[in-house]
């Protein structure tokens, strides 16, 4: 990690902030020159003296698809909460690229800087169509109530249509989102995140509750996103992790720190990993 660069710890760099009446300025570009999109350094979170994260350090490369696994209570959700600004660590740093220190930023600023988070349960606008949901996501400026009245430009329409295609929801494009299956709603919500053009996507148990066919389709979607976006996927479904990990790295968290990291095969054969999964 380079430390000689100025690091953003406030809302944004020059001319920044959500100045009322002036609209929002774009955040400073994330400096990805060292190929690292996210770097956690010795992050500790305590809840009433209990260490949910214990000097956790890990880094994720630009365009990487990183799977995070670990037993219940390992600290996976707490880690995502720290990255997105929901929880402040007691110690440690979280860098987004080379130039943002997320530990000093608000949740809204972190989202605006380019980190999108998908929670486990789908949250789409059920009474709007698939197309309208994506349109609302495209227009969502977190300081302004989203509106369907502003006209779409040709290129915005094209982006929505391309996203619908990527999600394989063309047949449902003008159906109400409330009528979609659970898996389709999850894909739509991922599409809504994509409309905001995030650099890093955090996905919490994305295939929980999906059918086998939906899970398979989700794996294809994530593999298509890899490279264009950086993804951090927390998942308990090992078949799914195996399908998306490929020859990439899998990180095993346990008791708030990294227990093992390496290929899926290497971590599955690691005696320490076998013990935490089977020794309980």
Positions touching ligand ATP (CB under 6 A) are: 47, 50, 52, 70, 72-78
Question: Which of 167, 233 has the CB closer to ligand ATP?
Answer: 233
CA distance 197 to 30: 13
CA distance 256 to 204: 17
Tell the smallest beta-carbon distance from residue 149 to ligand ATP (Å). 40
Question: Which of 158, 239 has the CB closer to ligand ATP?
Answer: 239
Closest CA to 253 of 35, 38, 55, 39: 55
Tell the smallest beta-carbon distance from residue 119 to ligand ATP (Å). 12
Q: What is the largest CA-CA distance in the chain?
A: 58
- Residue 260 has which token pair? 């093992």
CA distance 262 to 268: 9
Tell the smallest beta-carbon distance from residue 69 to ligand ATP (Å). 9
Tell the smallest beta-carbon distance from residue 124 to ligand ATP (Å). 23
The angle formed by the CA atoms of residues 31, 36 and 40, to the nearest 5 degrees, is 105
Put residue 23 in one of left, alpha, beta given phi > 0 → left and psi -120 to 50 → alpha: left
Tell the smallest beta-carbon distance from residue 51 to ligand ATP (Å). 8
Question: Which of 52, 203 has the CB closer to ligand ATP?
Answer: 52
Question: Which of 51, 128 has the CB closer to ligand ATP?
Answer: 51
Closest CA to 117 of 232, 10, 236: 232
Tell the smallest beta-carbon distance from residue 43 to ligand ATP (Å). 12
Question: Which of 88, 174 has the CB closer to ligand ATP?
Answer: 88
| Burial class for 136, CB neighbours closer than 10 Å (0-12, 13-18, 19+) | middle
Backbone dihedral angles phi then psi of residue 269, each to the nearest 5 degrees: -95, 0
Question: Which of 79, 164 has the CB closer to ligand ATP?
Answer: 79
């Amino acid at each position: 990690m380079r430390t000689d660069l100025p690091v953003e710890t406030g809302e944004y760099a020059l001319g920044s902030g959500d100045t009322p009446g002036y609209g929002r300025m774009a955040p400073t570009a994330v400096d990805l020159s060292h190929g690292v999109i996210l770097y956690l350094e010795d992050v500790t979170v305590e809840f009433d003296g209990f260490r949910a994260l214990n000097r956790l350090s890990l880094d994720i490369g630009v365009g990487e698809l990183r799977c995070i696994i670990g037993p219940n209570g390992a600290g996976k959700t707490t880690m995502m909460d720290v990255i997105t600004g929901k929880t402040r660590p007691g110690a440690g740093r979280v860098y987004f690229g080379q130039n943002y220190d997320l530990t000093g930023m608000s949740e809204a600023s972190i989202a605006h800087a380019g980190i999108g988070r998908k929670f486990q349960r789908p949250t789409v606008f059920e009474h709007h169509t698939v197309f309208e949901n994506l349109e609302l996501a495209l227009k969502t400026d977190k300081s302004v109530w989203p509106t369907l009245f502003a006209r779409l430009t040709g290129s915005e329409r094209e982006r929505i249509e391309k996203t619908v295609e990527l999600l394989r929801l063309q047949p449902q494009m003008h159906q109400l989102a409330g009528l979609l299956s659970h898996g389709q709603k999850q894909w739509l919500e991922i599409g809504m995140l994509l409309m905001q053009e995030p650099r890093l996507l955090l996905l919490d148990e994305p295939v929980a509750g999906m059918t086998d066919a939906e899970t398979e389709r989700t794996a294809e979607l994530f593999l298509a996103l890899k490279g264009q976006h950086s993804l951090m996927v927390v998942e308990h479904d090992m078949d799914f992790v195996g399908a998306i990990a490929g020859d990439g790295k899998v990180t095993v968290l346990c008791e708030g720190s990294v227990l093992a990291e390496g290929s899926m095969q290497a971590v599955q054969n690691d005696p320490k990993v076998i013990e935490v999964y089977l020794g309980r």
